[in-house]
Structure 1
């Protein structure tokens, strides 16, 4: 996040992006897709130089076989260069094209829940390429919600126990002792 906007770093530049599912809600998101179904993604190229570059978008199904970096799937340079293998797992592809207005919007309908990787590749007039990858899941918010609810429940349980335990100690020490 930067200036309360979702940021995609691509080489030395950034793009702002957001996604939403018009059939489910008006809420925007910038990481995991809440539900399967129609999804609209908008990319805004802040840097003028990005508008003059070829931009390619690819969404692939994450089969769990990729290299892990900081616990997240990441395609190596060799995997990115293997177009046949990428094509086999691609669920959406926008071929390289220039976007002189700086705005790129695309739609994709996710027919199933699962894990995916988005790949944005830009190439300048000198053939220099920059790639940004972002793993995301579709329809797997329940697991995150359960973890959050579990943590809240544990916190509340700990608070109730603490009040009971320490509150009981204070009451016992406040009770005057009978003379012997």
Structure 2
């Protein structure tokens, strides 16, 4: 019985850890990827890089550190490569009142990639991508730079915490079972 309880607890813990990792960027389909924005058939994908801190890490809306940040927008729909597209980064969330910190003027991008670089301080930013097509298209990405996202922390911790609670409950039930008490009584005598 002890072996069965241990195996069940281990399976629960592994399942909880796997469920937390399954939502990581890169294992999602294009439709579920939070870095993709879609208007009709037109899609764009934003990636942010900070190679001075981690050369292989790719971010989307949660930027871990302040400093130079490279923004790369992939134009997924080939038709978008034939229209002028620009990118603007503003500090804050209000396009008309907040400061523009980076601007890539609208132009054609036959390779399907828009590249921009900016220096970001701690706080909230908004990346606005505009396509001058018919109809005009507009995509927005909120950026959080070096800010704690308590929602993500909670979602990541729930699975392992439930597994730990179940293991504790199973251990408690096992310790209180009559079989264990008889075994303890035999050891004492």
**TM-score surpassing 0.5?**
yes
Runs of 4+ in structure 1 off by over 3 angstroms are 1-6, 141-157, 171-174
Could you say which structure has the greater relative contact order, defined with CA pairs below 8 angstroms and 6 or more residues apart? 1
Q: Structure 1 regions of 5+ residues with no counterpart?
A: 67-79
Q: Which residue of 2 is the match for residue 93 of structure 1?
A: 103
Q: Which residue of 2 is the match for residue 107 of structure 1?
A: 117
Root-mean-square deviation (CA), in Å?
A: 3.2
Flag the 1:49–1:166 CA change in 2: closer, same or farther, 3 A.
same
Q: CA deviation at 1:10?
A: 4.1
- What TM-score, normalized to structure 2? 0.65
On the 8 A contact 1:11/1:131 being kept in 2, the answer is no
Is 2:148 the partner of 1:118? no
Return the match for 2:83 from 53, 62, 69: 53
Higher strand share: 1
Flag the 1:22–1:123 CA change in 2: closer, same or farther, 3 A.
same
Cα distance in structure 1, aligned partners of 2:74 and 2:85: 12
Q: Structure 2 regions of 5+ residues with no counterpart?
A: 1-27
Cα distance in structure 2, aligned partners of 1:36 and 1:161: 41
Cα distance in structure 2, aligned partners of 1:149 and 1:9: 27
Higher helix share: 2
